[in-house]
Amino acid sequence: MSLVLFEKANAIGVITINKPHALNALSSDLLKELDEVLGQVASDSELRCLIVTGAGEKAFVAGADIKEIHSLDPEQASQFAGQGQGVFMKIEQLDIPVIAAVNGFALGGGLELAMACDFIFASEKAKFGLPECTLGLMPGFGGSVRLTRKIGPGQAKQLTMTGDLISAEDALGFGLVNEVCAPEKVMERAKMVATTIASRAPKALAAIKRTINATYGMAASDAMEVEKKEFAQLFHSKDCKEGTAAFIEKRKPEFVGQ
């Protein structure tokens, strides 16, 4: 059975972490499969948006495979962390927007995976945390970096130093997730927003994503320069001409991603 499933419909892709018997725990084999699927996603010009979720009702991803990491030496641990960081960076750097649909536990590597996505929709039953310190460890797939950028250093230190889990509502209050939904509505909501995103101009979306990712934390004057360059580049695109013409002609634009 594949550890990572992929399906596509109406320009929207869905990646499902498919290891429900182990709460979708991340192993090196699973990360390798995810990396391969992401390669397919990156090369598919028809895709306009991607959703990442977990199989089953209990977990999005409940963390790394502890049995696998227990026997690692420092060099192997560095390689494992590098593998996870590299795969999650691919998600962050995809041109298309990526939505995490968190249906249950998003712990350790699971929260790190969710944070690599552009935004998160969570089930009311979801739980979030980076409890690595309870195992004598710390986040290794980008968690300490992304969590700090999302909720600030004080809250990030408290969560990573206590290992405490937080509810979906608390995660919403921290700004970690965008919306909290009834469990049966999480994927429905993710697909609804993905459908809206898929109707927008792909080059514009890619430019928005690049700009926000690149300028967060940058001095305002430097960030404005990045925005100006990205804005100007869009005027080379057919979609820019189409979108503005459609507005003037009072019709719905037909974006082609060029």
Name the 3-class secondary structure at 190.
helix
pLDDT-wise least confident of 18-27, 170-179, 189-198, 246-255: 246-255
Mean pLDDT of all residues belonging to the chain: 95
Read off the pLDDT of residues 191-246 as tens digits, 9 standing for 90 and up. Answer: 999 999 999 999 999 999 999 999 988 899 999 999 999 999 999 999 999 898 98
Query: What's the confidence (pLDDT) of residue 146?
Result: 96
1 pLDDT band (50/70/90 cuts)? low
Say which residue the tokens 């018997």 belong to. 21
- Which among 144, 148, 18, 127 is positioned nearest to 85, based on CA atoms? 144
Active site residues: 112, 132
> For residue 256, is pLDDT > 90?
no
CA torsion 216-221-222-223 (nearest 10°) is 40
Query: CA 238, CA 207: separation in Å to the nearest integer?
Result: 14
> For residue 254, is pLDDT > 90?
no
Read off the pLDDT of residues 65-115 as tens digits, 9 standing for 90 and up. Answer: 998 999 999 999 999 999 999 999 999 999 999 999 999 999 999 999 999
Name the 3-class secondary structure at 163.
coil
Query: CA 128, CA 139: separation in Å to the nearest integer?
Result: 13
Query: pTM of the entire structure?
Result: 0.94
